[in-house]
Structure 1
Amino acid sequence: MRTVTVFAPASVGNVGVGFDVLGHAIEGVGDTVTLRRSPGPGMVLTQISGVITELPRDVEQNSATRPLLRMAQEHGVEGGLEIELHKGIPLGSGMGGSAASAVAAVVAADALWGLGLPMNHLLEYALEGEGAASGAAHPDNAAASLYGGLVLTEPGPPLCCTRLPVPSGIACVLCHPDLEVRTRDARSILAATVPRELWVRQSAWLAGFVAGCLRDDLAQVARCLQDEVIWPQRARLVPGAAAALEAARAAGAIGGSLSGSGPSVFAWTPQDKAAEVATALSHSFAATGIPCETWISTPDAPGARVVSGG
């Protein structure tokens, strides 16, 4: 194989209830990486296109290319490599953009170099890129983008991921207001400790949410889709988010929160209410003078995949 192109989807990080351990993929938007063998030495990022072009071109600093350096070193890969990155995910959107770039790159490299690595090894490499972009190698977005669907990640090493079943008839509406929140900044405002009583309550919400997914119990999922730890600290970063989520619930959503660190918000909703919830989110942000874009997806959307190669 001389060249390969991989698409990796955007994702909802945290899914409200599971800070840094839950995420799910989103259909219809993502990043694409093309790798091409080159006669010249080393790795070169030859092109950045799409909704963002002002990104680091130093291969040590870009989230798509940094993991490839470690992969090549650890697996004895020699020869030059040209890399093209097409960004479909806006910068600082809370949609897992850095994770998608890293995931697309490592899946492409695994295919191009014929490594055949296990998925959890690919995830560990992708987290090199996530760390380069956000300063913290949290796996929720990268795991969802790689595996697809709703993914729970256990602490490592080694990282272990479980793709959870999604309740029947559920859609996710993802709304991206025209704002930017840097992940580094959003993590820096979080308290270093959590009171014991709050830790117990949030643990119970997470356990109940997972149990509801496993049992296909939509009432339990709706009851437990709660975030008493992160949302109260981050809500002020996104003007209009609280009102938008209230409008979504009024339109039929069972719950929602910030997607990752924001500014995007997500709402889980019965499929037959998805269009109404999308309209409610858009109109709510528009009322504050903030334009936005929305996507309707299953939370069980597919993960990264090779789209061409030869």
Structure 2
Amino acid sequence: MSTVTAFAPASVGNVGVGFDVLGHAIEGVGDTVTLRRRAGNGITFAAISGVITELPHDVEANAASRPLLRMARDFDLAGGLEIELHKGIPLGSGMGGSAASAVAAVVAADALWELGLDRQRLLGYALEGETAASGEAHPDNAAASMFGGLVLSEPGPPWHCTRLPVPAGLACVLCHPELEVHTRDARQILAETVPRAAWVRQSAWLAGFVAGCSRGDLVQIGRCLRDEIIWPQRACLVPGAAAALDAAREAGALGGSLSGSGPAVFAWTRWPQAEAVAAAITGSFARAGIPCEHWISTPDAPGARVLQRG
């Protein structure tokens, strides 16, 4: 093979209740990476296109290219490689843009170099890209983009992830207001310590949420889909988010929160209420003077995949 193209979907990080440990994939939006062998040595960018093009061409600093440097070093791979990165995910959107770029790149590289690595190991390489983008290797977005569906990540490395069951009839409404929040900044405002009572309560909500997904209990999911620790600290970063989520619940949503560090917000709902919930969220942001685009997807959306080999 001389060329491989791979796609990785956007994702909802944290899923409200599980900071840095839960994430799920979203259908309809993502990043695409094409890798092409070239004469000579080294990795270079041929093009960066899509909704954002002002990204670093320095291969150490870009989320798509940095993982490839480590893969090439670990497997003693010689020869030249050029990257075409097409961004479908806006910068600073809270939709796992850096994770999707990194995941698409390592999936394409595994196919092009015929390494045959399993997805757990590929995730470790993809997290090199997350480190380049945000300074920390948090796996929630990358794991969801890699594996698809709703994913629980254990502490690593090495990284171990479990794809959790998603009850039938559930939809996720993901809305992206025309605002920007950088992950590095959003992490810096978080308190270094958590009161014991808050930690115990949040642990119980997370356990209840996972149990509700396993049992297919939508009432339990709605009761436990809450965040008492991160949301109160970050709500100020996204004007209009609190009102939009209140509107979503009034329209029938089970619950919701910021997607990752925002500004995107998400709400889980039953499929029949999905359009009404989307209208409620986008309408709430519109009344605040903030345009908003949205997607409706199953939380059990497919993960990264190779689109073309040549």
User: Is 1:80 paired with 2:91?
Assistant: no
Shift of the alpha carbon at 1:46? 1.0
TM-score, with normalisation over the residues of structure 2? 0.99
Shift of the alpha carbon at 1:41? 1.5
Unaligned 5+ segments in structure 2 are none
2:96 matched to which residue of 1?
96
Other structure's SS at 2:26 match: strand
For 1:107 and 1:296, the matched residues in 2 are separated by: 25
CA contact (8 A) 2:45 2:57 kept: yes
For 2:289 and 2:202, the matched residues in 1 are separated by: 34
1:17 matched to which residue of 2?
17
2:169 matched to which residue of 1?
169
1:303 matched to which residue of 2?
303
2:42 matched to which residue of 1?
42
Identity %: 78
Shift of the alpha carbon at 1:118? 1.4
For 2:116 and 2:2, the matched residues in 1 are separated by: 16
Unaligned 5+ segments in structure 1 are none
Other structure's SS at 1:67 match: helix
User: Is 1:140 paired with 2:140?
Assistant: yes
For 1:270 and 1:282, the matched residues in 2 are separated by: 18
For 2:162 and 2:49, the matched residues in 1 are separated by: 33
Deviations 1:181-229 (A, max 9, x none): 0000000000000000000000000000001101111111111001000
Shift of the alpha carbon at 1:95? 0.1
Amino acid paired to 1:158: P
Shift of the alpha carbon at 1:157? 2.5
2:199 matched to which residue of 1?
199
Correspondences of 1:89-128 after superposition (within 5 Å): 89-128=89-128
For 2:289 and 2:41, the matched residues in 1 are separated by: 50
Shift of the alpha carbon at 1:76? 1.3
TM-score, with normalisation over the residues of structure 1? 0.99
Structure 1 runs (4+) greater than 4 angstroms displaced: none
Other structure's SS at 1:132 match: helix
1:178 matched to which residue of 2?
178
Correspondences of 1:268-307 after superposition (within 5 Å): 268-307=268-307
Other structure's SS at 1:211 match: helix
Cα RMSD over matched residues?
A: 0.5
For 1:190 and 1:99, the matched residues in 2 are separated by: 21
Other structure's SS at 1:62 match: coil
CA contact (8 A) 2:124 2:157 kept: no
Deviations 1:2-61 (A, max 9, x none): 100000000000000000000000000000000000012111111000000000000011
